[in-house]
């Protein structure tokens, strides 16, 4: 068996998220369906770095699978892309040692969150950015708020109350803001993220930027360890899984 | 009655084109449905600068309608946008004299055609650009070909064979190429365009750029007055109606 590492990009707007579930189209389902055809009916299971929710996009999701086929690593993008729907594209593939695991070998992730600031949101961006609904944020206030989140903290206030992992301590390495024309991007890198954590951070920093919340309140929100203290969960269409890090 | 001129943008990927037809969702149908609600059940007919086909986008489509309501011109974007689906946005509106007609007052149009040159087409651009399918065009050859099309010509070879207008003489004022990262844009301005004319010009110039056709053959294609001599009709998702000119 060869282990193949694959980097994929997908438009999340047509999916009920990454992971296979009883109903609705998912990215994993499409990948495994393509692999089933390539393997002439033998089921091949795919392991991803993690899930993404319905409507959330990926620029660089990473996954691996094991195959008995002798197809060289760099041929896999073409082999898969001809069998995948156009909203999933394989950007890169390579053979890796069996010790590599898309999820367990990951040392961190970078996500990008995009807001569209135009007063009338573009019809072309409605699935690909979060509308500002006329709000114009003070980016300085967003940066002040973000600085309180960088570091190692218990992020209980910044994850879905449904999260069932015990340890909610995570390290946020960097939160960076970029302005691209009518868009504001937040780029966040960390060792790991809890369920909805990036979207809640985005929603909280947006609230800080638009005056709904004082950036100085963020340390108190962290120590409260209470989801109801954090900001709203920002909508999924603004979120992109940009890169999965493997200690490069 | 007041006549209102409106500039709209739409993502054509969810529509069977601009014009109302027996089956399928259209832009005109959504506009007239919104106006019906605003006018409390009185039907208001909308006149556009022209149709766009299924999958074709608009950055600046222009239309007009007559209304008995006293809503000031500049209030109409908000009034309409709250009632329109998110894939149509009203960008501008103003009251105009009754002598203005969105179609008959137009003196020209500018279209933009976008190719995505990345070897693996982005899943985010699949509805918004034409994939190059690995082809890398020689833009110099495309420009040479385009120069033969600028001016006043009989464009019979560059319109759908189904076109039933008698006079196929049109003036192309300018064809410009722009490179934006991984994208190639063709921007074409003319006095008027026949059915599928921009997409056939795009397909023919792409063939010139990728070596399937010699740019020097284009004068012969024009004089042949035969659609079978022109290049393929480029796909709709790369095409945008950018601006309608009114002799400004």
Question: Given pLDDT bands bounded at 50, 70 and 90, which one contains residue B223?
Answer: very high
- What are the helix and strand counts (H, E) for chain A? 5, 10
Considering only the beta carbons, identify the residue of A9, A122, A126 that sits closest to B122: A9
Tell me the average pLDDT across B120-135. Answer: 90
pLDDT at A151 (0 to 100)? 97
The shortest C-alpha distance from A223 to chain B (Å) reads 39
pLDDT at B248 (0 to 100)? 65
Identify any residues that bridge with A96 across adjacent strands, giving them in sequence order: A3
- Residue B175 pLDDT greater than 90, yes or no: yes
User: Do B80 and B94 meet the contact criterion of CB atoms below 8 Å apart?
Assistant: no
pLDDT at B161 (0 to 100)? 85
Domains and their CATH numbers in chain B: 2-96 (3.30.70.580), 108-245 (3.30.70.660)
Q: Which residues of A touch B11 (CB under 8 A)?
A: 123-124, 126
Tell me the average pLDDT across A204-231. Answer: 95
pLDDT, tens only, B33-68: 999 999 999 999 999 999 999 999 999 999 999 999
- Residue A133 pLDDT greater than 80, yes or no: no
Tell me the average pLDDT across A189-200. Answer: 95
Could you give the CA distance from residue A114 to residue A238 in angstroms, rounded to a whole number? 5
DSSP state of B68: S
Question: Given pLDDT bands bounded at 50, 70 and 90, which one contains residue B163?
Answer: confident
Question: Given pLDDT bands bounded at 50, 70 and 90, which one contains residue A8?
Answer: very high
- Residue A248 pLDDT greater than 70, yes or no: no
- What are the helix and strand counts (H, E) for chain B? 5, 10
Among the residue ranges A21-25, A110-114, B108-112, the one predicted with the least confidence is: A21-25
Catalytic residues of A: 53
The shortest C-alpha distance from B110 to chain A (Å) reads 19
Q: Which residues of B touch A123 (CB under 8 A)?
A: 9-11, 86-89
Q: Residue B240: which residues within 8 A CB-CB, separation 6 or more?
A: B56, B57, B58, B59, B111, B112, B113, B114
């Amino acid at each position: 068996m060869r282990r193949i590492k694959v980097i994929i990009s997908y438009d999340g707007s047509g999916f009920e998220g990454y992971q296979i579930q009883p109903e609705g189209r998912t990215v994993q389902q499409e990948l495994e369906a393509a692999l089933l055809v390539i393997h002439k009916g033998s089921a091949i299971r795919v392991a991803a770095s993690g899930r993404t929710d319905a409507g959330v996009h990926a620029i660089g999701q990473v996954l691996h699978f094991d195959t008995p086929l002798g197809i060289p690593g760099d041929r896999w993008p073409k082999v898969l892309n001809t069998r995948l729907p156009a909203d999933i594209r394989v950007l890169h593939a390579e053979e890796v040692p069996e010790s590599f695991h898309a999820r367990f070998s990951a040392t961190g992730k970078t996500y990008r969150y995009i807001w569209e600031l135009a007063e009338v949101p573009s019809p072309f961006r409605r699935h690909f950015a979060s509308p500002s609904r006329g709000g114009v944020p003070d980016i300085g206030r967003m940066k002040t708020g973000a600085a309180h989140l960088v570091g190692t903290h218990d992020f209980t206030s910044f994850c879905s109350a449904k999260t069932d992992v015990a340890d909610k301590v995570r390290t946020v390495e960097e939160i960076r803001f970029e302005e691209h024309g009518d868009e504001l991007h937040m780029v966040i890198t960390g060792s790991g993220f809890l369920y909805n954590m990036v979207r809640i951070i985005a929603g909280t920093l947006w609230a800080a930027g638009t005056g709904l919340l004082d950036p100085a309140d963020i340390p108190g929100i962290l120590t409260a360890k209470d989801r109801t203290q954090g900001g709203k969960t920002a909508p999924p269409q603004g979120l992109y899984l940009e890169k999965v890090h493997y200690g490069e």
